[in-house]
Structure formats: C-alpha cells, structure tokens
C-alpha cells in the first residue's frame, strides 16, 4: 500500500522528524495491510519493525506450550518487532513475543536493517545511551544472578556444615567413650582370668558374650512406658542378686534389648561368685556394641549427607537426564534443613507413583531452593512457627510440584510483579529480586513448564508444572539448548 509521509508524521513516534526524514522512511519502509491472523511468531528472526496505523493488535508470550496474552490495543503509533535492531549482531535478533491482529489492520513496516541505520545516523547519542542501558542491564542481571547463586550456596554450606557437625561430633564422642570402655573390658577380663574359674566356665562366659552381642544387634524398639517397666524389672533383679549399682546398668541393658530372662541365663551359666564380675563384663560388651552402632549410624548419616550434597549439586551427572523429582526435592530439603530450622514443620505429600521426567536437575534444584527460601522467609515474617508442605501430583498431562506455606502471603497489589527481575519485598540487603525471575526462566524457558502463585494470608502456594516428556527439540538433551540457555 502507498506510504504517506504526512500520515506517518502524525504518529507520536515520528512527529519530530523532518520532511526529509519522513520521506526516507516512506521510501525504505512500506505500509502493509494484514488480515486477521498472525503477523510474526516469538523466536523467529526479527526482520521488521512494526508501527500500528489503524486496527487492533494482540501481543502474547509463550509460556510452556501455551501463548499467554500480554497486551491488546488499538492505539495508533504503538510499535513492536525488531526493537533492539540497533545493537546489531551482538545479540540474537529474534522476536521476543508473538503478534496477531483481530481485524484488518494497517502497519507502517520498516526493515530491521533500515531501522538500525536510521537510529545510528539520526540519534547517535540516544543509541549509545540505549546500548549502555541494554548491555548494562544484562551485565547487572548476570552479576546479581551470580550473587543470588552465591547467597544460596552460602545458605546451603551453612546448613550442610550444621548437619554434618552433629553426626561427626557424635562419632567423635562415641569413639572416645568406646576407647574407655574397651580399656575397662580388658581390665575386667584380666580380673576374671586371674580368678578361680575353670576353663569351661570361661568358655561359657565367652559364649554368653557372643549371644549378648547378637541380641544387641536385634534390639527391639520400645515405647517409653515399656522401657521404664523393663528398667524397673532389671534393676530389681540385679539388686536381688547382690549386684551393686544395678540402677545404672539397667538402662543400658534395656537399650540393648536384654531382659530378666537373659539375666537368668547368665546366672545359670556361671557360679554365684562369678556373677557380679560376669554381669559387669557383659555390661562393657553391651556398651561397646551400642557405641559401635552409634558410630556406624553417625558415619552412615555423614555418607547420606554427602550423597545428598552430590545429588543437589548434580556432580558427575549429565546436565540433562531423566530424574525422579522426589530425589531432587529430598536433597534440597536436606541441604536447607539448617535454614528451615526446628520451628517450621516440613510435610511431604508425595505421589510416589509419578514417572521420572526429562529435566535439567541442577537447575530444578535451584528452583526448589528459591521457592523454599521464600516460603521460610514468609513463615519467619509471620512469627517463625508454621508449616511448609511440599506436594507432588499428576495434573492432567503434567507433573505438579507445589510448595505451600503458612506465612504472611503475597499482597494483592504486588502479586503481578513477583516474577519481574529485581522486584523484591524483602528488606534491603536480604534479597536481589532475581530468585523468582531465575526460577521462572528455568521452569518456563528451559523446561517448557509453568510457574504460578496463589496466595492469601496463611496459605501461599507456588506451583510448578513440568511436562512428562521432552519436547521434540529437547529430546536429545543438551544438544537442543539455545544460545540463551548457555548464557543463563
């Protein structure tokens, strides 16, 4: 369609241009009529800059597999398309959204190369300022994103150190006590060996010792009431048989799963004179076995924590693979247990029948970290006592991971901004405003899923929906990653 310099000169975008400049725009651009339907699609090469002359346009952004409308307008002069053409090939020139028209619509269309050329020629200072703003914003976002990761790493390191310290300290204490008990056992054995006991009696005592060790390994779990009743019975038996400080021995024997029937077997196997020494020696045996169990439990706990840390960090793992989201959630909760603290109850409502899904597990762990961190902050802001519920379920053809907290909630006036870069409601110095933005890009852009929030005071839910199968472009894993993915 013919281009009129007078018509495009009435648009607010071009109203300050000279007649010569308007003539050049008309000579190198064009007026084009579009029937209802798409004009361009998100992700396509950005070849044109569009300015609305008349009609109605709808802009949308792809979220997962859906196009979500972001703007609808009939205002003359609104523009879209290759708006960053002035930066050239320093960034990929693609459309950042999709545009369609709902009725016959006229646009003034300027090729991206021409738009970039006239910007640099007519507004050189503005171009420099815009370039500085564009790249400065990118660099700032990247730097703060790195700081966000370092802050998360600091929290995780503190939590992991705290969790490792407990079993490590228990192991050190148990080892020191074990050394003392073994020394006393050797002394007691020497006393028994020097006594007037036959070889058969000593052999019988050794046999009892072996059976006692087996009983310790199979000790049942007793309720506090059952344990107290058994301690009373053992204490009475020991006192009746002239064994001093039986009240100190009884709890140890109960913990090891021993009872009065076992003591009767010991009494029947040794002479009356030998019984106190035999019981004392067997007490050291029991304590030794219990201490070795404690050391084994502590070292197993440390090993479990190290495995969880590796699972969280995805060390030595492929960046894109099929994963069980419950393993990722458990490792993240364990890493953050120190930060969550004892006042927040963690409830897991897992659907263990859910299938494994293709994903970037290290990135998903970062999403879980950000959402759990926000939930903990909300609960702490509400007084510090509350509940964090992590739920998984199948929702239609997607896997749902929901984080629900009983914190302060999200104010309605800011709910629409929570996923915006640099927006935060945390006090200065406590948040960068990129946690939810990073989570959004990981879930939506990298996993083709959705991330949404529902909130009211005392009930806030962040819901992550992930596809059960890989999109065709990502089916081969990292080879399907885009340049933007690599930068992120």
Same domain, 211 and 339: no
Burial class (CB in 10 A: 0-12, 13-18, 19+), 208: buried
Q: Which residue carries 């020097």 as its tokens? A: 194
> Considering only CA atoms, which of 227, 254, 250 is closest in space to residue 238?
250
Determine the Cα–Cα distance for residues 33 and 28; give it in Å rounded to an integer.
Answer: 17
Q: What pLDDT digit, counting tens, does each position of 192-250 carry?
A: 666 666 677 677 777 777 777 777 777 777 788 888 888 888 888 888 888 877 788 88
Same domain, 387 and 350: yes
Mean pLDDT for the stretch of residues 380-397 = 90
Q: Is residue 308 part of a domain?
A: no
Beta-carbon contacts of residue 187 (< 8 Å; ≥ 6 apart): none
CB 465 within 8 A of CB 450: yes
Q: What pLDDT digit, counting tens, does each position of 208-218 carry?
A: 777 777 777 77
Q: What pLDDT digit, counting tens, does each position of 160-175 carry?
A: 666 666 677 777 777 8
CB 216 within 8 A of CB 257: yes
Mean pLDDT for the stretch of residues 101-107 = 90
Same domain, 338 and 474: yes
Determine the Cα–Cα distance for residues 183 and 187; give it in Å rounded to an integer.
Answer: 6
Residue 187: C-alpha distances to residues 28, 193, 202, 254, 327 (Å):
103, 10, 15, 24, 49
Entry pTM = 0.48
Structurally, the chain folds into a number of domains equal to 3
For helices 275-313 and 325-335, angle between their N-to-C axes, nearest 10 degrees: 110
Same domain, 294 and 337: no
Strands 386-395 and 344-349: parallel
Same domain, 203 and 339: no
Share of the chain above pLDDT 90, in %: 14
Helices (H), 195-259: 199-217, 224-240, 246-255
Which tokens hold the place of 249? 């021995």
Q: Is residue 289 part of a domain?
A: yes
Last residue of a domain, one of 73, 106, 122: 122
Last residue of a domain, one of 96, 122, 148: 122
Range of the domain at 283: 157-303
Q: Is residue 440 part of a domain?
A: yes
Q: What pLDDT digit, counting tens, does each position of 31-47 carry?
A: 989 999 999 988 888 88
- What confidence score (pLDDT) does residue 477 get? 47
Strands 398-405 and 459-467: antiparallel
Q: Which CATH number goes with the domain that contains 59?
A: 2.60.120.10
Q: Which CATH number goes with the domain that contains 360?
A: 3.30.565.10
242 DSSP assignment:
T
Same domain, 462 and 343: yes
Q: Is residue 88 part of a domain?
A: yes
User: 359-394 burial string, b = 16+ CB within 10 Å, else e?
Assistant: bbbbbbbbbbbbbbbbbbbbbbebeeebebbbbbee
Beta-carbon contacts of residue 441 (< 8 Å; ≥ 6 apart): 488
Q: For the residues of 49-72, what is the DSSP string, one character each? A: EEEEEES-EEEEEEETTEEEEEEE
CB 337 within 8 A of CB 369: no
Q: Is residue 142 part of a domain?
A: no
Lowest mean pLDDT segment, chosen from 59-68, 152-161, 237-246, 380-389: 152-161
Q: What pLDDT digit, counting tens, does each position of 337-363 carry?
A: 877 888 899 999 999 999 999 998 888
94 DSSP assignment:
B
Q: Is residue 482 part of a domain?
A: yes
Determine the Cα–Cα distance for residues 469 and 275; give it in Å rounded to an integer.
Answer: 69
Same domain, 458 and 351: yes
Same domain, 476 and 347: yes
Q: Is residue 149 part of a domain?
A: no
Residue 113 burial (CB count, 10 A): 14
Q: What pLDDT digit, counting tens, does each position of 6-19 carry?
A: 888 888 888 888 88
Last residue of a domain, one of 249, 274, 303: 303
Determine the Cα–Cα distance for residues 93 and 112; give it in Å rounded to an integer.
Answer: 9
> Considering only CA atoms, which of 401, 430, 407 is closest in space to residue 333?
401
> Considering only CA atoms, which of 276, 285, 281, 273 is closest in space to residue 190?
281
Same domain, 364 and 331: yes
Computed over every residue of the chain, the mean pLDDT equals 78
CB 316 within 8 A of CB 220: no
Determine the Cα–Cα distance for residues 419 and 439; give it in Å rounded to an integer.
Answer: 9
450-456 sheet: strands from edge to edge? 344-349, 386-395, 398-405, 459-467, 450-456
Beta-carbon contacts of residue 445 (< 8 Å; ≥ 6 apart): 484, 485, 488
Same domain, 291 and 350: no
Determine the Cα–Cα distance for residues 439 and 141; give it in Å rounded to an integer.
Answer: 14
Same domain, 276 and 385: no
CB 65 within 8 A of CB 397: no
Determine the Cα–Cα distance for residues 319 and 442; give it in Å rounded to an integer.
Answer: 13
Determine the Cα–Cα distance for residues 111 and 126; give it in Å rounded to an integer.
Answer: 20
Q: What pLDDT digit, counting tens, does each position of 459-475 carry?
A: 899 999 999 987 654 44
Same domain, 18 and 112: yes
Q: Which helix (H) or strand (E) holds 462?
A: strand 459-467
Q: Is residue 111 part of a domain?
A: yes
Determine the Cα–Cα distance for residues 190 and 297; give it in Å rounded to an integer.
Answer: 31
């Amino acid at each position: 369609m013919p281009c009129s310099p007078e018509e495009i000169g009435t648009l607010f975008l071009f109203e300050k241009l000279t007649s010569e400049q308007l003539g050049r725009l008309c000579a190198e651009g064009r007026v084009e009529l579009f029937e209802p339907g798409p004009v361009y699609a998100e992700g396509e090469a950005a070849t044109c800059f569009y300015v609305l002359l008349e009609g109605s346009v709808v802009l949308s952004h792809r979220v997962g597999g859906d196009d979500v409308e972001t703007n609808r307008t009939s205002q003359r002069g609104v523009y879209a398309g290759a708006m960053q053409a002035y930066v050239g090939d320093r960034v990929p020139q693609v459309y950042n959204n999709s545009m369609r028209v709902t009725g016959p619509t006229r646009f003034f269309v300027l090729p991206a190369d021409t738009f970039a050329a006239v910007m640099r020629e007519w507004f050189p200072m503005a171009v420099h300022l815009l370039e500085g703003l564009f790249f400065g914003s990118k660099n700032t976002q990247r730097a703060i994103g790195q700081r966000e990761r370092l802050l998360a790493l600091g929290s995780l390191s503190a939590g992991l150190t705290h969790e490792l310290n407990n079993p490590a300290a228990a192991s050190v204490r148990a080892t020191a006590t074990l050394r003392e008990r073994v020394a006393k056992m050797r002394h007691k054995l020497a006393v028994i060996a020097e006594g007037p006991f036959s070889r058969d009696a000593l052999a019988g005592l050794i046999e009892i010792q072996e059976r006692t060790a087996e009983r310790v390994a199979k000790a049942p779990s007793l309720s506090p009431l059952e344990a107290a009743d058994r301690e009373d019975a053992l204490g009475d038996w020991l006192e009746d048989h002239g064994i001093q400080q039986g009240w100190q021995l009884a709890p140890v024997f109960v913990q090891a799963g021993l009872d009065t029937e076992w003591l009767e077997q010991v009494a029947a196997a040794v002479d009356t004179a030998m019984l106190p020494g035999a019981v004392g020696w067997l007490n050291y045996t029991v304590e030794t076995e219990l201490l070795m169990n404690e050391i084994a439990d502590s070292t197993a706990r440390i090993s479990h924590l190290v495995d969880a840390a590796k699972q969280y960090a995805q060390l030595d793992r492929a960046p894109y693979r099929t994963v069980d989201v419950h393993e990722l959630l458990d490792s993240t909760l364990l890493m953050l247990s120190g930060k969550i603290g004892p006042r927040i109850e963690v409830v897991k409502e897992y659907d263990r029948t859910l299938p494994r899904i293709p994903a970037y597990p290290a990135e998903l762990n970062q999403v879980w970290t950000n959402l759990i961190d926000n939930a903990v902050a909300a609960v702490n802001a509400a007084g510090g006592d509350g509940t964090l519920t992590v739920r998984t379920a199948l929702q239609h053809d997607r896997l749902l991971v929901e984080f629900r907290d009983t914190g302060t909630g999200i104010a309605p006036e800011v709910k629409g901004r929570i996923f915006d870069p640099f927006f935060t409601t945390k006090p200065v110095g406590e948040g960068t405003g990129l946690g939810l933005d990073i989570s959004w890009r990981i879930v939506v852009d990298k996993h083709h899923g959705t991330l949404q929030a529902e909130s009211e005071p005392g009930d806030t839910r962040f819901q992550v929906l992930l596809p059960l199968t890989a999109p065709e472009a990502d089916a081969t894993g990292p080879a399907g990653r885009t340049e933007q993915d690599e930068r992120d």
